[in-house]
Amino acid sequence: MLNSFWNWFVIIISIASILGCWWLLHWTRGVSDREGEEVGSTGHIWDENIRELNAPLPRWWLHLFNITIIFAFLYLLLFPGLGNVPGILGWTQIGQYESERAAATEAQESVYARFRDMDPAALTADAEANEIGHRLFANNCAMCHGSDGRGARSFPNLTDNDWLYGGSFEQVLTSINKGRVGTMPPWGAVLGEDGVSEVVAYVQQLAGQEVDAQLAEAGQARYATICIACHGMDGTGNQALGAPNLSNNIWLYGGDAASIAESVNMGRAGKMPAHENLLNEDRRRLLAAYVTGLSERQ
């Protein structure tokens, strides 16, 4: 809300501007527009005989300007425009938003009501539910995961059935509701340059890549000391922690030696924002069903 000074400042400026327009309009009317009366000259002459005349506005045009001034005062009387004065209609942009939102919710109720009691399998298989889910995905998820759900570097691919936190309907719904925060701590200072290279070689070997066997063997010992707690003995990861599977050659940040070394050396931090305060429950369930079905439809 405006404090007392700015409140009166806005009121004075608004009213003075309107009255100033009225005064300027009538002060510059020029001579009368009565038919046959000589039109006065401004005194400006070009090319010896071209004179600039002070021709008045037609009276009907002048009255149109007067009407706009009357309209301005009526508007300020009915709607907020003079500082903190609310206007006699009591209109606010918040009230307008809430009214339109309530109307939209009421109009959509019949659409979402049909899906409310469906189980996850039925939702995933329903064509209309998938159409709505696709639109929700495009509006809320595509900027990170791509319009086709295939993701990008640091944003998971939702179509390959490889899940950091689990791909069941309930697990996906939890990710949508609460969001996810995935953290890979930096190990460069602990491992040193040689240690990082050895761990990288072993991780690449887990994924089936060709590496230096001696380097990978040394990295296995370091892996067992530092990495096994999250990624597991065989490198298949831990969905409870969101620790990636390192054995399937599917990479969130890249599977080449340089990218893996960067992950080990500097760590990683990924965040999936929570949507429970952005979308209502009906929308979140349809979105979860759509995402769950993405890998099934590939």
Q: What is the pLDDT of residue 31?
A: 44
Q: Please list, in sequence order, all residues whose beta carbon lies within 8 angstroms of the beta carbon of residue 227, skipping any fewer than 6 positions away.
A: 199, 203
Residue 39's pLDDT band (cuts 50, 70, 90)? low
Task: Please enumerate in sequence order all residues whose Cβ is within 8 A of that of 243, keeping only pairs 6 or more positions apart, or say none.
Answer: 164, 230, 231, 232, 237
pLDDT of residue 37: 46
Structurally, at CATH architecture level, domain 182-272 sits in: Orthogonal Bundle (1.10)
Q: Domains of the chain: which residue ranges?
A: 4-91, 98-179+274-296, 182-272
52 vs 223 pLDDT, higher one: 223
How is residue 224 written in tokens?
């067992």
Average pLDDT score over the chain: 90
Percent of the chain with pLDDT over 70: 94
Q: What's 98-179+274-296's CATH class? A: mainly alpha
Is residue 40 very low, low, confident or very high in pLDDT (cuts 50, 70, 90)?
Answer: low
Beta bridge partners of 41: 53
Cα separation, 30 vs 225, in Å, equals 94
CA distances from 34 to 3, 56, 73, 258 (A): 50, 10, 30, 88
Of 2-6, 211-215, 233-237, the least confident = 2-6
In tens, the pLDDT along 191-207 reads: 999 999 999 999 999 99
Nearest residue to 154 (alpha-carbon basis) of 247, 239, 230, 262: 262
Task: Please tell me the least confidently modeled range out of 8-22, 42-56, 209-223, 269-283.
Answer: 42-56
87-141 pLDDT, tens digit each: 999 999 999 999 998 998 888 898 899 999 999 999 999 999 999 999 999 999 9
Q: Do domains 98-179+274-296 and 182-272 have the same CATH topology?
A: yes
